[in-house]
Structure 1
Amino acid sequence: MHISSHRLFTAIRLSFMYYEEVSQVSKSRVHGDRFDGVDGPTAARDDSDLARAIGARIRELRVAQGMSMRTLAPLADLKQPFLSQLERGVSSPSMLSLYKLAKALGVAPGDLLPDEPVTPGAVVFRSGEGHPIHSVDGAVSSAGRLLFTDADHELEISEFDILPEQNNSEWFDHIAEAATYVMTGELRVEVENGGEWVLGRRDVIFCRAGSRSRWTALDPAGTSLLHVIARRRER
């Protein structure tokens, strides 16, 4: 399966329009941390239940590939005790951990999330819905959310708000085509052996499958972005 850059760019543009619309609507409709209306399929999951479900999914994929935790941990550049905590649902993975595990297991990051029922038509995620996630493991990390519907959907979107003090030097491996769209602020993007760019509001960068990149937020007030991944599908 191949998703063209045009399709990815269209998806990002639509996501940005949705983000702006929801931000306005939220001022009058939000109750607590969630909107009235149609929930996304992952909105109601308890954090601890979600951690256990992700852990079970990691273990399922690992066992299916005949790998022990001792084998998978170094492939994913993770400590074995931490991997054990993830599989038992004691700890929740960051976006970086999901990327590392996905690369080691040969799947997309969203494939490590629990399966959701296939929903025909449209699925709407309101502000506050989706999978809460941190960019990296540790105290200094930006918070975001991962938006993903079901296993048949070809796109997954993550949204992050990054302050300069939350920057880190970690590289993210892209196992599929990906794009990053800056909604507000400024973002420096480095692509390993590919160049370096400073992106402003409504700028977008596409990264090829197999490339590595890292972000640095430059705006003192923070940088908001959308990251879109084309999930690989067997046809």
Structure 2
Amino acid sequence: MASEEGNGLPTASMLHAIGAKIRTMRKERGLTVERLSELSGVSTGIVSQVERGKANPSFSTMVQLAHGLGISVARLFDGDDHRSPVVRKFERRRIDGHGLAEGDGGLYELLTPDLNGALEATWVETPPGYDSSETPYRHNGEEFGLILSGAKDVYLDGVRHHLEAGDSIRYASTIPHWYVNSGDETCVAVWVITPPTW
């Protein structure tokens, strides 16, 4: 375990910060702990311990994890205190593998600066014919959705709720839920989830 600052060793707070950064970057890339383990050559147990700030990894392990994430090791030690609370449209990070079917045709972009806060906000575009009924979602937390254009059917435990531009919905994420765009135009929506699902 990390010792106190001043003796040259990392402090517990630094290990927690680095672990949280690794977890955030992993989730932003749509990677599971197991997949990051494969890409980095670091065991799943160590990856999990590092993300939770429970391990004091060697520099070699940090290099391996950075390689698995496709970043320089220096990025793991950069402070985020200067990060702006604003996310510009051109700066949005695309979310892939967000518990979604691969190549499902939808576009998902993170509207919050990161996933370290109490909520996750996502820009969602789903094309006509989009249907996630084969893989219903169910997780802890609560969700809120606002339809900006087009229409979307939100199914909550099999009950259909048809939403059009300007309509919104809130529900417990513990209810099995899925989405269908049965219209003839792309649906654009903003979805807010708390806590972040990554």
* TM-score (normalizing by structure 2): 0.55
User: Which residue of 1 is the match for residue 140 of structure 2?
Assistant: 175
Q: Write the mapping of 1:171-210 to structure 2, written as runs, cut at 5 A.
A: 171-192=136-157, 195-210=159-174
1:1-235 alignment runs, 5 A limit:
51=29, 54=31, 63=45, 88=68, 117-118=80-81, 123-134=85-96, 136-150=100-114, 152-169=116-133, 170-192=135-157, 195-231=159-195
Q: Distance in 1 between matches of 2:137 and 2:128?
A: 18
Superposed displacement of residue 131, structure 1: 2.0
CA drift of 1:143 comes to: 1.4
Q: d(CA) in 2 for partners of 1:186 and 1:230? A: 23
Contact 2:86/2:113 (<8 A) preserved: no
Aligned AA (2:91): E
The alignment partner of 2:90 has SS state of coil
**d(CA) in 1 for partners of 2:149, 2:115:** 30
C-alpha deviations, 1:51-73, integer Å up to 9, x for none?
A: 3x95569659x527979xxxxxx
Provide Cα deviations, 1:154-210, integer angstroms capped at 9, x if missing partner: 2211111111233332212232111111111111110116x2210011111111142
Q: Check whether the contact 1:131–1:146 (CA below 8 A) recurs between aligned residues.
A: yes
Name the SS for the 1:199 alignment partner: strand
**Counterpart amino acid of 1:117?**
D
Hey, what's the Cα distance between the residues in 2 that align with 1:144 and 1:161?
Answer: 7
2:60 paired residue number: none
| Contact kept? 1:192, 1:211, Cα under 8 Å | yes
Unpaired runs of 5+ in structure 2?
1-24, 50-66, 71-77
Q: How has the CA–CA distance of structure 1 residues 64 and 88 changed in structure 2, closer, same or farther, with 3 Å as cutoff?
A: closer
Displacement after TM superposition at 1:89 (Å): 5.3
Question: Offset at 1:142?
Answer: 0.8
1:202–1:196 distance in 2 versus 1, CA, 3 Å: same
Give 1:189's aligned amino acid: V
CA spacing shift, 1:116–1:140, aligned 2, 3 Å = farther
CA distance, structure 1, for counterparts of residue 113 and residue 154 of structure 2: 28
Q: Decide whether the 8 Å contact of 1:155 with 1:230 is kept in 2.
A: yes
Give the Cα separation in 1 of the matches to 2:87 and 2:82.
Answer: 13
**Structure 1 length-normalised TM:** 0.47
> Are the equivalent residues in 1 in contact too, given 2:36–2:68 (CA < 8 A)?
no
Structure with greater helix share of residues: 1
Distance 1:202 1:171, change over 3 A: same
- Structure 1 residues without counterparts, runs of 5 or longer: 1-46, 68-86, 91-114
Deviations 1:116-144 (A, max 9, x none): 82558x61111132221246333332112
Q: Percent identity?
A: 16
